[in-house]
Homo-oligomer: A and B are copies of this chain.
Amino acid sequence: MNIGMIRAAAERLEGHARRTPFLRSEALDRIAGRRVWVKAESLQHTGSFKFRGGRAALSALSPEARARGVIAFSSGNHAQGVALAAREFGAPAVILMPADAPAQKIDDTCALGAEVVVFDRSTQNRDEIGARLAEERGLTLIRPFDEPEVIAGQGTVGLEIAEQAAAAGIAEAEVLVCCGGGGLTSGIALALEAEAPGLKVRPVEPEGFDDVARSLASGGIERNNRTAGGLCDAILTPSPGEITFPIMARLCGPGIVVTEDEALDAMAAAFRHLKLVLEPGGAVALAAALNRPDMMEGEDVIAVATGGNVEAATFAKALERDL
């Protein structure tokens, strides 16, 4: 896993992934007490950065493997990213989704032409179902984060941040990243190490699902007690990955933890001041910028807004906080 793979992924994504905007609002600056820059990956195809990793992984397969198809496990955003990338290549995609995933994410994955197989987290073994399907059809598994080409694709967000920060005159800043298993976080950290060493990554997680923060603190891979039931469904992974953790341990600053209420407040702030729709798991980095000013340094902070795939009822909850 190295910067060369990220640069190669960026070439393969050229003309396919969107270069997302780097936005700022003085109202957010006032709340945070420093300049806040938001990298709006919610505006990426399929509504999250996951399309980058999906497309990078699909484009790295041999034509024969692609023709047989791919399989992915996901509660939503990775599902949609892989589904769209597969359809763009005319490759079959099977997506295993937990029955408690947001209904909208299941619908939207189906609409992208994927074969969605729903399983019950409590009674069925996802890995067994997946292994059987992969075996029967010769499908290639695209892991959501612990997969080099996926990390390379997500790392292209970091290449863009390096360019956009330089254009804004920012040489030093902390880069807050909403973190599940660490694919995006480690990819961005590798990209910035090479392209903008004054930008340092800080993973951000919701309370109760702070496996990465605890792992960085202890120096070994720690697990969450639960992996479902939280509001921030996009980033509720059991533990950092075998590939992603050593990269984060080497390059990232301490993790930051925010509450679900703070994530909802950040969604309301992005609605009002940036006109962006963010999902709870895509808003925790902005929540950290707005609510943990004493945990970071410098005049600028960059928050990656990772996704916007949120159901209307959940978004309405965030809006109530602004009423």
Contact = CB atoms under 8 A, between A and B. Distances in A.
Interface of A: 18, 20-21, 23, 26-27, 42-43, 47, 104, 108, 111-112, 268, 271-272, 274-278, 308-309, 312-313, 315-316, 319-320, 322-323
A102 B104 CA distance: 32
Contacts of A47: 275
Contacts of A23: 18, 43
Contact of A319 (B27, B308, B315): B315
**Residue of A20, A23, A272 contacting most chain B CB atoms (<10 Å):** A272
A86 to B, nearest CB: 14
Given A27-B111, A43-B21, A275 B319 contact: no
26 contacts: A20-B21, A21-B21, A23-B43, A26-B111, A26-B112, A43-B274, A43-B275, A43-B276, A47-B275, A268-B312, A271-B277, A271-B312, A275-B276, A275-B278, A275-B308, A276-B276, A276-B277, A312-B319, A312-B320, A312-B323, A315-B319, A316-B316, A316-B319, A316-B320, A316-B323, A319-B319
A170 to B, nearest CB: 15
Contacts of A323: 312-313, 316
Contacts of A42: 275
